[in-house]
C-alpha cells in the first residue's frame, strides 16, 4: 500500500482560491443588483415625468404631491438592493422635471428625468388647416 502525503500548501492555496472566487461572485451579484435598481429608478422617473407632462396641458393639472404619489406607486416593490428612495418634482409651463435618488449605506444612485411639454398634435392640425386654406384659396 502506497501512502500519499499531502503537503499543507495545497490547503492554503485552495483556501485562497475559494475565497477569491467567492469574493468575485459576490461582486458580480452586487453589480447586477446595482444596475437593476438604477434602471428601475431611471425608468420610473422618466415614465412618471411623461405621464405628468401629458396631464399638465389638461385641466386640472397634477399637483406635486400627486406626481410623487404616482412615482411611489410605480417604484413600489421593484428595488432589490436599494430600499430608501426619494423623489423631487418640479412642474413648469414648459417642462416637468423629476429627480429621484435611492441610497443604501454608503452607496447612492441619483437620476433625473426632464420632459418638455409640447403639443405636436395641435401644430399638425394648424398646419393642415393652413394647407387646406391655401389649396381652396380662402
Question: Bigger pLDDT: 95 or 56?
Answer: 95
CA distance 43 to 78: 11
The bridge status of strand 84-91 relative to strand 107-116 is unpaired
Q: Region 108-120: what's the mean pLDDT?
A: 86
Question: Bigger pLDDT: 119 or 44?
Answer: 44
Q: Which CATH architecture best describes the domain 38-136?
A: 2-Layer Sandwich (3.30)
Residue 51, SS3 per DSSP: helix
Write down the pTM of the prediction.
0.73
What ranges do the domains of the chain cover?
A: 38-136
Tens digits of per-residue pLDDT, 8-55?
Answer: 677 888 899 999 999 999 999 999 999 999 999 999 999 998 888 877
Q: What is the CA radius of gyration of the chain?
A: 28
Contact criterion met (CB below 8 Å) for 38 and 111: yes
Residue 36 CB neighbours (<10 A): 15
CA distance 28 to 31: 5
Contact criterion met (CB below 8 Å) for 107 and 113: no
Amino acid at each position: 500500500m502506497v501512502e500519499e502525503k499531502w503537503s499543507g500548501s495545497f490547503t492554503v492555496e485552495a483556501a485562497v482560491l475559494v475565497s477569491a472566487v467567492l469574493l468575485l461572485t459576490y461582486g458580480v451579484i452586487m453589480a447586477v443588483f446595482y444596475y437593476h435598481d438604477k434602471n428601475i429608478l431611471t425608468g420610473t422617473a422618466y415614465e412618471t415625468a411623461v405621464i405628468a407632462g401629458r396631464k399638465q396641458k389638461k385641466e386640472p393639472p397634477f399637483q406635486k404631491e400627486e406626481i410623487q404619489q404616482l412615482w411611489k406607486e410605480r417604484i413600489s416593490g421593484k428595488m432589490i438592493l436599494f430600499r430608501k428612495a426619494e423623489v423631487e418634482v418640479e412642474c413648469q409651463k414648459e417642462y416637468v422635471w423629476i429627480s429621484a435618488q435611492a441610497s443604501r449605506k454608503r452607496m447612492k444612485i441619483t437620476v433625473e428625468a426632464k420632459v418638455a411639454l409640447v403639443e405636436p398634435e395641435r401644430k399638425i392640425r394648424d398646419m393642415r388647416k393652413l394647407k387646406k386654406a391655401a389649396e381652396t384659396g380662402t
